[in-house]
Structure 1
Amino acid sequence: MVTWNNLNTLASFQTLSETERVDLVSAMTGENGAERVKNYSIPMAAGLAYNYAAKQVDEKVLDALVKLAEEAQLGEKFAALYNGEVINTGEKRLVLHHMTRGQLGEAVEADGVDKRAFYVEQQERIAEFANKVHNGEITNAAGEKFTTVVQIGIGGSDLGPRAMYLALENWAKKNDTFKMEAKFISNVDPDDAAAVLNSIDVAHSIFVLVSKSGTTLETLTNESFVKDALKNAGLDASKHMIAVTSETSPLAKSDDYLAAFFMDDYIGGRYSSTSAVGGAVLSLAFGPEVFAAFLKGAAEEDKLSLNQDVLQNPAMLDALIGVYERNVLGYPSTAILPYSQALSRFPAHLQQLDMESNGKSVNRFGGPVDYPTGPVIFGEPGTNGQHSFYQLLHQGTDIVPLQFIGFKNSQIGTDVVIQDSTSQQKLCANVAAQIVAFACGKADENKNKNFEGGRPSSIIIGEALTPEALGALLAHFENKVMFQGFVWNVNSFDQEGVQLGKVLAKRVLAHETDGALKVFSDLLNI
């Protein structure tokens, strides 16, 4: 039987807290340092590997983490989730984003339908539509092919799909699967929509409106902006727009759209990249086969998260080490550092995934938690970040755990040799150097040049960033966040923290304000 308890009530957490701390500098520079790097590694899906040698763990700490996973019933709770129990207690909903890329356990029925069959049907409908667009069966009013797809959405309807598109854009061009350029409109700031519309040929563009409820203020505002642009160009907006929404929303059967593809309440926005939310834009941009390969990588990684052996379950171990860093070592933030320009927006997606999921101060039953929960997430691609915020990471007063992502080969497969090494070799040399520099430091009598080291990091390493590798990478972090939410006993699948601002904004727009809200509204000339 699964039980839900606060972290600090678990005996294994007390044991973990009392376990002797690891001197990372000694561990990495000692006689077993090289063997440690080789041994502290777990295979992931799609040829990836999770290496945690530069984390502040040893066999004693790992043993304590295994016991914590067992007492917290992480495996059983994951099974409850994918078998259709109501894990989202705040909204009293199932959590089914894993099902968009495969069936992990029992068949799940909700709303009178087989949910796996429902998600497969939407994927197949999207694939059929995308193929018709690509082969010219679906065209603009002049019978000309669409060349650009524009996604209109915000939050999870934008951050994930945008990050995935950018991650695969160069790969698709190199591998001759690039079908259409994709653009994204998200911010209600009119400059965002205007910038996108000024950069495209609207007559040859198809727009994907993403709103589960069909009532999202920012998204509907931007839709109106787009419709005005189409009207001003003498175009029929209904011939240029599709919707991704719920079957019960006002968009579902509207004549304003060429087609509607469906999602449901069991997939949160930040977990929706493998649903129709990501499926429509990615299938149009790269072709349904590429999206299917992306799903395959995610599904394979999900299966690894079923492993009851913590030391062979990369997402679970990554999660537990993160809990150790947050709740025992006291580190308040984590930096995501992909050494791949294609992953330029991946840290932004992980900001939402992690901070919206586990940024909670009450447990899943509404009771208080008196220990830290989700960390602050930030990051930028290397090597750019090295010339930006790495100064604080190396010598600042806070220790910030780091999660590197690196690939042995570039996506484009071509390179130049300068000073006896290629650009890709220089990139990889930098990430290897940073890991060791952070962990081991460098003593110097000049204190301004002294590096204490002891700054922990992990790295996910792959051959190249392919659709399968991207899917596996995404699923790893989704499952990591989920496991951490289980340990902290919070509901990782609602986001009440985003609601209050929306309510107050509506009051401002209705001029129903007083006090400080009215003064700030007046200052902004609303």
Structure 2
Amino acid sequence: MINWNNLDTLNAYKKLLSLKGQVNLSQALSASRVKEYQTPMAAGLAYNYAAKEVNEQILSVLAELSAEQQLIEKYQALLDGEVINTGENRKVLHQLSRGQAGKDVFFQGKNLRDFYAGEQKKIADFAASVHSGKIVGSKGDRFASVVQIGIGGSDLGPRAMYLALEQWAQASGKKKMEARFISNVDPDDAVAVASSVELAKTLFILVSKSGTTQETLANELFVKDLLKKAGLDPSKHMIAVTSETSPLANNPGYLASFYMDDFIGGRYSSCSAVGGAVLSLAFGPETFAAFLDGAHAADKSALESDIRKNPALLDALIGVYERNVLGYPSTAILPYSQALSRFPAHLQQADMESNGKQVNRRGEAVRYATGPVIFGEPGTNGQHSFFQLLHQGTDIVPLQFIGFQESQAGADVVVEGSTSQKKLCANLSAQIVAFACGKQDTNPNKNFPGGRPSSLIWGKKLTPEALGALLAHFENKIMFQGFVWNLNSFDQEGVQLGKVLTKKVLSGDMDPALKAYAEIFGL
């Protein structure tokens, strides 16, 4: 039997509180610790936590916390199709879209494993027809570009994944089409994207589960108007990714429709048709399949009960210790890889929309901190931006570094005795030690206190399999932390109020304060 208990009722949590401050990073960090405090991940990646403020005793109690809160059992229940999203009374099945381990999941007589696999096959066949020239634009032109129209999870994840693989695909001869993304309802976004492609050779993907998303439909109409003005038939240049019950389903206004359902939230949808359509068109179905394989391998490793062999679980538990025992309010995601330039933005939504909650699964107020603020930028740019605060500011911000031994492009140049890639990795290595150990100086402006904890996820090269494993690692970390905090990590009521008030502004039904702000913009 699974029990859904608040964190502050657990015996292991009370033990953790007594262990605060046991580890002095500047003294603890050593070569042997760097080698010992590391666990393998899927797809050849590794998770290193040597620069975290944990020791054997703390890790032992974290293992007790995992067992007491039944984290693996809850994950298995999710995989088996139990209703985990209590706020919306839904299953949570994004792992199923990449071939989850475990039994088949049914809903209203439909085998959902077969449904997701079938949509992937339909997308693969469609992409092959586009690449071969069997499907062409309204003037007979072969498609050279694809533009995804979506917002939130329909944009952030797929955009981050596309950018992460674009250089790899170019170097590997796998790039089939250029991809662009329109998300902001600001017309400047759509104009900028549309002007960067040749409309006659461009296929647009409209992504809206409900088929009624305000910003997405506004951008769709904007694009359709541009197509018509260019003498093109929009129905020959658009496909839809939606639910089977939406007005976009089986609509003659689209070349094809591909389906998702309510069991996969937007921020977890990169492995579904939401990410599958654009990634399969841009890089080929086999590349998307490899991406799913990496994610599936990470999902399987997340079932390991030994926290030292389960990187997503270990990362989650250390994060809970930092948030609830050490009191750190933020976490910085720092990929030393330009390919992952939008990965922190995706994780902002994935984490903060999931665990930015103040009530538990039963709607009761919790009395402890929950999800941290997530932010980040790629290195080395971040070093010349906000690292000043991270090194010498009054708040301690835990850091999650990501790095690779090799670049995706393979092209490099030797400058002052080393390549650019070696310089990148040297900077990453230096930052970890600088944050942990600091530097004593008689000049207060040059004194670095150290004691800034970090982890490192690293691998040889960012490939589709590695990217899938990296994505699933963080999705599973977020899930485990939500379980620890006894939250429903799979609804997002916090985004709804603004939508309601926006409709009031546009309809003219406003209270005085709202009207005063609207009048600033002439509404």
Instruction: Give the TM-score normalised by the residue count of structure 2.
Output: 0.99
Partner of 1:390: 387
Structure 2 CA distance, aligned partners of 1:436 and 1:308? Answer: 31
Opposite residue 274 of structure 2, the aligned amino acid is V
The answer to whether the 8 Å contact 2:139/2:232 transfers is: no
Is 1:250 the counterpart of 2:239? The answer is no
Please point out which of 229, 233, 239 is paired with 1:232. 229
Partner of 2:208: 211
Partner of 2:176: 179
- SS of residue in 2 equivalent to 1:261: strand
* 1:20-99 correspondence to structure 2 within 5 Å: 20-29=20-29, 33-99=30-96
- SS of residue in 2 equivalent to 1:54: coil
- SS of residue in 2 equivalent to 1:357: helix
Structure 1 CA distance, aligned partners of 2:481 and 2:184? Answer: 30
Structure 2 CA distance, aligned partners of 1:256 and 1:112? Answer: 30
Partner of 1:8: 8
* 1:81-480 correspondence to structure 2 within 5 Å: 81-480=78-477
- SS of residue in 2 equivalent to 1:164: helix
Opposite residue 305 of structure 1, the aligned amino acid is A
Structure 2 CA distance, aligned partners of 1:103 and 1:326? Answer: 30
The answer to whether the 8 Å contact 2:25/2:453 transfers is: no
Partner of 1:18: 18
Partner of 2:480: 483
The answer to whether the 8 Å contact 1:41/1:50 transfers is: yes
Structure 2 CA distance, aligned partners of 1:190 and 1:514? Answer: 27
- SS of residue in 1 equivalent to 2:334: strand
Unaligned runs of 5+ in 2: none
Structure 2 CA distance, aligned partners of 1:20 and 1:122? Answer: 49
- SS of residue in 2 equivalent to 1:139: coil
- SS of residue in 2 equivalent to 1:87: strand
- SS of residue in 1 equivalent to 2:148: strand
Structure 2 CA distance, aligned partners of 1:100 and 1:151? Answer: 20
Opposite residue 46 of structure 1, the aligned amino acid is A
The answer to whether the 8 Å contact 2:353/2:492 transfers is: yes
Instruction: Give the TM-score normalised by the residue count of structure 1.
Output: 0.99
- 1:327-384 CA-partner distances (Å, limit 9, x unpaired): 0000000000000000000000000000000000000110010110000000000000
Structure 2 CA distance, aligned partners of 1:356 and 1:485? Answer: 11
The answer to whether the 8 Å contact 2:401/2:456 transfers is: yes
- SS of residue in 2 equivalent to 1:137: coil
- 1:439-482 CA-partner distances (Å, limit 9, x unpaired): 00000000110011000000001000000000000000000000
- SS of residue in 1 equivalent to 2:235: helix
Structure 1 CA distance, aligned partners of 2:508 and 2:239? Answer: 34
Structure 1 CA distance, aligned partners of 2:83 and 2:519? Answer: 44
Structure 2 CA distance, aligned partners of 1:27 and 1:271? Answer: 40
Partner of 1:516: 513
- 1:378-415 CA-partner distances (Å, limit 9, x unpaired): 00000000000000000000000000000000001121
CA shift, 1:104, in A, is: 1.4
Structure 1 CA distance, aligned partners of 2:439 and 2:22? Answer: 18
- 1:464-522 CA-partner distances (Å, limit 9, x unpaired): 00000000000000000000000000000000000000000000000001210011111
CA shift, 1:26, in A, is: 4.2
- SS of residue in 2 equivalent to 1:338: strand
The answer to whether the 8 Å contact 1:23/1:454 transfers is: no
Q: Residues 72, 27 of structure 1: CA spacing in aligned structure 2 closer, same or farther, 3 A cutoff?
A: farther
CA shift, 1:231, in A, is: 0.4
CA shift, 1:112, in A, is: 1.9
CA shift, 1:253, in A, is: 1.4
Structure 2 CA distance, aligned partners of 1:503 and 1:468? Answer: 40
Opposite residue 19 of structure 1, the aligned amino acid is L
CA shift, 1:319, in A, is: 0.2
- SS of residue in 1 equivalent to 2:467: helix
The answer to whether the 8 Å contact 2:98/2:295 transfers is: yes
Opposite residue 138 of structure 2, the aligned amino acid is A
Unaligned runs of 5+ in 1: none
CA shift, 1:97, in A, is: 0.2
Structure 2 CA distance, aligned partners of 1:236 and 1:141? Answer: 6
- SS of residue in 1 equivalent to 2:431: helix
| C-alpha RMSD over aligned residues | 0.7
CA shift, 1:20, in A, is: 4.8
- 1:90-139 CA-partner distances (Å, limit 9, x unpaired): 00000000001113111100132000000000000000000000000000
CA shift, 1:166, in A, is: 0.3
Structure 2 CA distance, aligned partners of 1:511 and 1:271? Answer: 35
- SS of residue in 1 equivalent to 2:85: coil
Structure 2 CA distance, aligned partners of 1:480 and 1:249? Answer: 32
* 1:499-510 correspondence to structure 2 within 5 Å: 499-510=496-507
The answer to whether the 8 Å contact 2:138/2:236 transfers is: yes
Identity %: 69
Structure 1 CA distance, aligned partners of 2:49 and 2:2? Answer: 29
Structure 1 CA distance, aligned partners of 2:439 and 2:475? Answer: 35
Moved more, 135-144 or 123-132: 135-144
Opposite residue 499 of structure 2, the aligned amino acid is K
Structure 1 CA distance, aligned partners of 2:216 and 2:204? Answer: 12
Structure 2 CA distance, aligned partners of 1:511 and 1:177? Answer: 51
Structure 2 CA distance, aligned partners of 1:187 and 1:408? Answer: 35
- SS of residue in 2 equivalent to 1:213: coil
The answer to whether the 8 Å contact 1:416/1:422 transfers is: yes
